Structure 1
Amino acid sequence: MHTMWKGTISFGLVNIPVKLHTATENKDIKLRQLHKECQSPIQYEKTCPVCEKEVKNEDIVKAYEYAKNKFVVLDEEELEKLQKEQADKSVEIVDFVKLEEIDPIYFEKSYYLSPNEGGGKAYALLRRALQDTGKIGIAKMMIRSKEQLAIVRVYENTLIMETIHFPDEVRSVQNVPNVPAEDNIVEKELDTAKMLIEQLTTEFDPEKYTDEYRTALLDLIEEKKQNDQVTTATEKPKPDNVTDLMEALQASLDRSKKVTKPKKAPIKKTRTKTKKAASQ
């Protein structure tokens, strides 16, 4: 299992060297976008709308938009310094609470924790202490340039860390539109709903649930492969040096003609015509 972070978890005077591993994975089927005409993958380029040209990564800077089209530019050195100051800190468990006190809306992503060298005993100590007390730890840490609030709890025989949202990251329910303020439910309808819930109540078995759409999509893809309903992207034509040279010479010749093209001299009116017009 790939290690994505190494550090220490501390609670009180106990320090546990640990490794962090991603506990979940996204199994969405990624579909590419092709040009319908030639079946080639579409590319997306970073362009500047003012300069009207493609921008390379080394020419891009990061900035915070504090008002419409008003930015504070941040140097990479400044960002790296802030990140390093936070990353150098160990993951410190600051509080212990009960898991049921945290609403699931706060949970974000799960990571397995494994003991690093010399951390096996302290790891087992924290695991047993959490099991016996029925508590979870609240901690702070840096992951991928972002400070994270997290919980540490026991999952089967392993410590798991789950990042959770900060309170200001959870939108207020007051902003949810069209929520009825009162129930106005008929008692008979409520009893029927409760009866239906009781009939469908069971123990949670995660193996029972599958992604039916993903399975059907994979079956469709495999069927098309078996029936040879596949396509190959058209390769971009390689530049021909001779053709490029001729085009360059022709372009240079055309440009030269435009520069050296004589301008027509303005037609001067003769005095005779002027006098004639005056006498009339």
Structure 2
Amino acid sequence: MAAPRAYWKGTLKLSLVSCPVALYPASTAVEKTRFHMINRETGNRLKQQMVDAETGDVVEGDQKGRGYEVSKGKYVEIEKDELEAVQIESNHTIDIDSFVPEGEIDKRYLDHPYYIRPDGKAGVDAFAVIRDAMKDQDRVALARIVLTNREHVIAIEPLDKGMLGTTLRYPYELRDADDYFEDIRSPKVTKDMIELAGHILDSKAAHFDPSKFKDEYETALKALVRRKATGKPIRAAEREEKPSNVVNLMDALKQSLKGGGARRAGSTARRQTPHRRAAKKSHRSSARRRKAG
């Protein structure tokens, strides 16, 4: 299978070692169900128009410009050539500045992921040397790259036979956690509570497996569209009753530990018919009698 069209092509450079590479977006929204705005009377798709916020008049293409709001309702207009004068021109080079331990990268900085692979056969050896050296030392490269006229910091790490590059946000793009966490009170939590919660965590221990992620809303949207397109009636899904709020935290932890592991199986059992439950009960009773005999 041929690789899709590259999003960016250039050179990955480590000191005097360099190799041609290509970047491909590692994520896509193509499979997501999307809707268009339509005219309910004609069924035709609607198009958007830019409208002057004060006069309500439609603004044509040659009247559109960019402005930065310097005070409420006051804008300074930025001309296209002025904007181009400060844009960074891509030299199509990924310059590696440093290598850091992977665990030191704050996950809040992670932005967009890209697959990186050699572009052609010429630089495969150099690509493999850089990739395997990072794998050997468990390090992530921090480099600079220009995408869409803006310079980004990109974290590069080995991934299978290629590399994964993830653009990083700048500090000014992150909100301060203290604004959200500072007023959270620090209650006294007993050791018994923490141990009980730890047992619950152990009972739900697993490995990261994205194949188990199920987008139930997306599945429901696709089913809705299929039924609607074939003229079948649409029925509203029954809402599950929300559990009442638990007042006693210790009781909630004990109950969770007692029934948490079997909760999923229990929810399935509750959906079974009385006849099936009775049959299972009879089977278990017979099995116990045979064992006792």
TM-score (norm 2): 0.71
Assess if the C-alpha contact under 8 Å between 2:9 and 2:92 holds in 1.
no
**Displacement of 1:215 after TM fit?**
1.2
Are residue 97 (structure 1) and residue 97 (structure 2) matched? no
Q: Give me the identity figure in percent.
A: 25
**Displacement of 1:36 after TM fit?**
3.9
Q: How does 1:200-279 map to 2 (within 5 A)?
A: 200-227=204-231
Counterpart of 2:91 in structure 1 is 88
Counterpart of 1:21 in structure 2 is 24
Alignment match of 1:122 (pick from 120, 123, 126): 126
Counterpart of 1:159 in structure 2 is 163
Distance 2:113 2:230 in 1: 38
Measured on the aligned residues, the alpha-carbon RMSD in Å equals 2.2
Distance 1:50 1:174 in 2: 39
Distance 1:180 1:34 in 2: 46
Assess if the C-alpha contact under 8 Å between 2:68 and 2:76 holds in 1.
yes
**Displacement of 1:181 after TM fit?**
3.4
Deviates more, 1:204-213 or 1:70-79: 70-79
Counterpart of 1:56 in structure 2 is 60
Secondary structure in structure 1 of the residue aligned to 2:27 = coil
Distance 2:166 2:19 in 1: 17
Secondary structure in structure 2 of the residue aligned to 1:10 = strand
Distance 2:139 2:175 in 1: 27
Q: Deviations over 1:155-188 (max 9, x none)?
A: 1221111011112211111111674231322333
Assess if the C-alpha contact under 8 Å between 2:111 and 2:167 holds in 1.
yes
Distance 1:79 1:174 in 2: 35
AA matched with 1:73: E
Distance 1:57 1:22 in 2: 31
**Displacement of 1:214 after TM fit?**
0.7
Secondary structure in structure 2 of the residue aligned to 1:97 = strand
Q: 1:81 to 1:4 in 2, by over 3 A?
A: farther
Assess if the C-alpha contact under 8 Å between 2:39 and 2:46 holds in 1.
yes
AA matched with 1:18: V
Distance 2:17 2:39 in 1: 58
AA matched with 1:8: T
Are residue 189 (structure 1) and residue 163 (structure 2) matched? no
Specify every segment of 5 or more residues in structure 2 that has no aligned partner in the other structure, as ranges.
Answer: 234-293
Secondary structure in structure 2 of the residue aligned to 1:176 = helix
Secondary structure in structure 2 of the residue aligned to 1:124 = helix
AA matched with 1:119: G
Q: How does 1:3-82 map to 2 (within 5 A)?
A: 3-26=6-29, 27-82=31-86
Assess if the C-alpha contact under 8 Å between 2:69 and 2:75 holds in 1.
yes
Runs of 4+ in structure 1 over 6 Å off: none
Deviates more, 1:149-158 or 1:57-66: 57-66
**Displacement of 1:109 after TM fit?**
0.9
Highest RCO, 1 vs 2 (Cα 8 Å, sep ≥ 6): 1
**Displacement of 1:38 after TM fit?**
4.2
Are residue 140 (structure 1) and residue 134 (structure 2) matched? no
Q: 1:144 to 1:189 in 2, by over 3 A?
A: same
Secondary structure in structure 2 of the residue aligned to 1:131 = helix
Q: Deviations over 1:85-108 (max 9, x none)?
A: 441262211110011101211111
AA matched with 1:20: L
Distance 1:112 1:128 in 2: 16
Distance 1:107 1:53 in 2: 41
Secondary structure in structure 1 of the residue aligned to 2:24 = strand
Specify every segment of 5 or more residues in structure 1 that has no aligned partner in the other structure, as ranges.
Answer: 230-280
Q: 1:183 to 1:86 in 2, by over 3 A?
A: farther
Secondary structure in structure 1 of the residue aligned to 2:36 = coil
